[in-house]
Amino acid sequence: MKRRDFLGAAAGAIALPALATTTNASAARASDRIEWRMATSWPKGAPGVGVNAQRLADRIGAMSGGRLTVKLYGAGEIVPPFEVFDAVSQGVCEMGHGTPYYWQGKNPAFHYFTGVPFGLTAPETAGWLAYGGGQALWEEAYAPFGVLPFYAGSSGVQAGGWFNREIRTLDDLKGLSFRIAGLGGEVMRRLGVSVVLTPPGEIFTSMKSGAIDAAEWVGPWNDTAFGLDKVARYYYLPAFHEAGPSLELLVSQEKFKALPADLQEIVKGAALATAAETLADFTFHNIEAFAHLVAAGGTELRDWPEPVAAAMAKASNEVLAELAATS
């Protein structure tokens, strides 16, 4: 055999096992890839909430190099918006994105992890969760349901709501049909308001049809994106009940524990990064949207009259005292 032929044959003999090894390794990596589903409480692509849920899903895929990918589903695509927690708890999907007070029927303590009237701001909430024992309490509250929570950011201080009539006194609230979430709804109920918890995607149509007289959603960015400035005249700022409401990433405890340690850390890190990005996103775009809202005219800005604010504070203290006594 000529030397050139011998060397060619030898190289081929070496290359074949190497190729087989590379192919096997690639097949092994492909088989190790994990695909999860994330149900959300928001319309897909909704400013702030839907957009940052998608960013979180994408970030997990990017940080893991594609080993863990997450497909996002908007409200109603897998389950209705207020059933996301159950979907994760029951194994319908591995992840969810929402806010804790949407599931407060399971445990009234869940309110504390979204926020309470006259409560913590977004930075204060993040500090309490990370360094004040809040995260441990949150995990304890969700543990019976097989769900693990991660803080996923905040909208910052929200708006008080859109009204079709001006609120001058407490009497103006009585009989009003008002879409409002969380403990703020219980406070308003005690002030004579008829409280409705309309899913986010239905707020505009409910206001336009007259099914409700007033609605609070988030703040200028989301509210104008949902068209609420087109169906109500008076805009009350700020919200008394949501000084820094939390968004959350819900993860199946069982599925999370089954992940390799590095992927667990990637999920935690992605949530933490998204939390910071979400607050920045809301802060910038709320300022921008508010400027446009004022410039456009047609909206009358109001703050709560002092007697109304005082009544809200009194009722809030009563509600929180009762909650503390029961949970």
The predicted structure's pLDDT at residue 5: 53
Residue 228 has pLDDT above 60, yes or no: yes
- Check whether 17 has a pLDDT greater than 70: no
pLDDT at 156 over 70: yes
Instruction: Tell me whether the omega of the peptide bond preceding residue 238 falls within 30 degrees of 0, making it cis.
Output: yes
32-156+244-286 matches 161-241+298-326 in fold: yes
CA distance 227 to 150: 31
Per-domain residue ranges of the chain? 32-156+244-286, 161-241+298-326
Task: Flag whether the pTM goes above 0.85.
Answer: yes
Give the model's pLDDT for residue 28: 39
d(CA 216, CA 103): 18
Residue 97 burial by Cβ neighbours in a 10 Å radius (0-12, 13-18, 19+): buried
More confident residue, 147 or 24: 147
> Please, what sign has the CA dihedral across residues 265, 266, 272, 275?
negative
Amino acid (one-letter) located at 81: P
Q: Are strands 68-73 and 95-98 parallel, antiparallel or unpaired?
A: unpaired
Query: Residue 57's closest CA among 292, 271, 244?
Result: 271
Amino acid at 295: A
Specify the pLDDT at position 20.
45
Please state, in angstroms and rounded to a whole number, the distance separating the CA atoms of residues 57 and 49: 13
Cα 64–Cα 35–Cα 257 angle in degrees, nearest 5: 75
C-alpha 183/C-alpha 102 separation (Å) is 11
Query: Do residues 141 and 229 make contact, with C-beta atoms less than 8 angstroms apart?
Result: no
Residue 149 three-state SS:
strand
pLDDT digits (tens, 9 = 90+) for 178-220: 999 999 999 999 999 999 999 999 999 999 999 999 999 999 9
**pLDDT of 68 over the 90 cut:** yes
Tokens 């096992």 -> residue = 17
Report residue 29's pLDDT band, with 50, 70 and 90 as the boundaries.
Answer: low
The matching CATH number, chosen from 3.40.190.10, 1.25.40.340, 3.40.50.12780, 3.30.420.40, for 161-241+298-326 is 3.40.190.10
DSSP 295-314: HH---EEE---HHHHHHHHH
Per-residue pLDDT, averaged over 218-244, amounts to: 96
User: Are residues 130 and 102 in contact, defined by beta-carbon separation less than 8 angstroms?
Assistant: no
Per-residue model confidence as pLDDT tens digits over 289-309: 999 999 999 999 999 999 999
Model confidence at 24: pLDDT above 70: no
Provide the CATH topology of domain 32-156+244-286.
D-Maltodextrin-Binding Protein; domain 2 (3.40.190)
Within 8 A by CB and 6+ apart from 120, the residues are 128, 243, 244
Binned at pLDDT 50, 70 and 90, residue 32 comes out as confident
